[in-house]
Amino acid sequence: MPQRRPKNYSVELHAGKANSTALNVYEWEGIGPPLLLVHAAGFHGRMWDKIIKDLGNRHVYAVDLRCHGLSEYSASPYSFQLFGDDVVALIERLDLYNIIACGHSMGGHVVLHAASTLPHRFTHALLLDPVVFPPNTPDPIQTDPAKSPIASRRNEWTSAAEMFTRFSSRAPFSEWDSEVLKDYCDYGLVHKNKGELFELACPPVCEAAIYQSSGNGLLLDKVSSITASVKILRVKERTPEDEPFDFRPSTTYKGLVDLIPKATETYLPNHTHFVPMEDPHLVASEITGLGT
């Protein structure tokens, strides 16, 4: 069976408002209720390609969040609520109902925001180690994003192939499925100043600014309104030996499952925060099992 190819298009959101933006959406036409996939900070909608291949002829939407992939760039400040409001507006513009959603990391936070804002439009959600902090966690200290270690990551590349070669031997990328890493490189670069060189579609300084805005906001006060069934995959917990900028340990509040009316949780101590990149077959199986 030939691999399905998505169509992609831009959807204008919040027209005339201060936070107006246009999001790029990939759509794989198929059968069944809409499956909405929301990526993590610094990534893009084509990170899901290998998972989608495992899902058969499902009707899938994968979004590039603002400042990611082919979506419109906007200057900081950012907030997880802003990204969530974008997805709420996107769902309303596309008029999606009976949504099955899957979100990874920041994308999991965004799915929770959308499912609590539009509970009547969602039936199931799978959250892959969502970034949700314990109650009363202070918001990150606001400093110059350009001084963050994240902002110092290499941003200029001659090709996606060069990026793949460099990353394939470096943790955590070396732990990823090679097809997923290739998709990250192939779809995560844009031409730099319309020249021959490439740069990351989500620049490192932008990603650093997003991490500085990663507080819960009002999310934990809202999740009790979710009517969809929710499954959380929580990965290995952080230990004192883990480095501060090691993104592999879990980012998920262990009490989150108790705040959502119809939520369950599976603990995956042998997986890291990059579970959809490491084990796309597991994630596809979990999506297939939603509602059964």
* For residue 197, pLDDT beyond 70: yes
Query: Around Cβ 33, how many Cβ atoms within 10 Å?
Result: 15
The residue assigned the tokens 């997880």 is 80
The residue assigned the tokens 């394939």 is 168
The residue assigned the tokens 């409001």 is 85
Of 82, 32, 79, residue with least CA distance to 57: 32
Q: Give the pLDDT confidence score for residue 77 in this predicted structure.
A: 87
Identify the three-state secondary structure at position 286. helix
CA–CA separation, 165 vs 146, rounded Å? 26
CB under 8 Å to 132, separation ≥6 — which residues?
Answer: 108, 109, 112, 216, 219, 220, 251, 252, 253, 256
Q: How many residues does the chain have?
A: 292
Q: Give the pLDDT confidence score for residue 292 in this predicted structure.
A: 62
Q: Which domains does the chain have, with CATH numbers?
A: 7-136+213-289 (3.40.50.1820)
Average pLDDT, the chain: 94
Mean pLDDT of all residues in 216-236: 96
Mean pLDDT of all residues in 130-155: 87
Report the alpha-carbon angle 254-174-165, nearest 5.
145
DSSP one-letter code for 132: B
Total H helices, total E strands in the chain: 9, 11
Residue 1 banded pLDDT, cuts 50, 70, 90? low
Residue 160 banded pLDDT, cuts 50, 70, 90? very high
Q: Give the pLDDT confidence score for residue 173 in this predicted structure.
A: 96
Residue 11 · residue 52 · CB < 8 Å: no
Residue 246 banded pLDDT, cuts 50, 70, 90? confident
pLDDT digits (tens, 9 = 90+) for 70-117: 999 998 889 999 999 999 999 999 999 999 999 999 999 999 999 999
Query: Around Cβ 57, how many Cβ atoms within 10 Å?
Result: 12
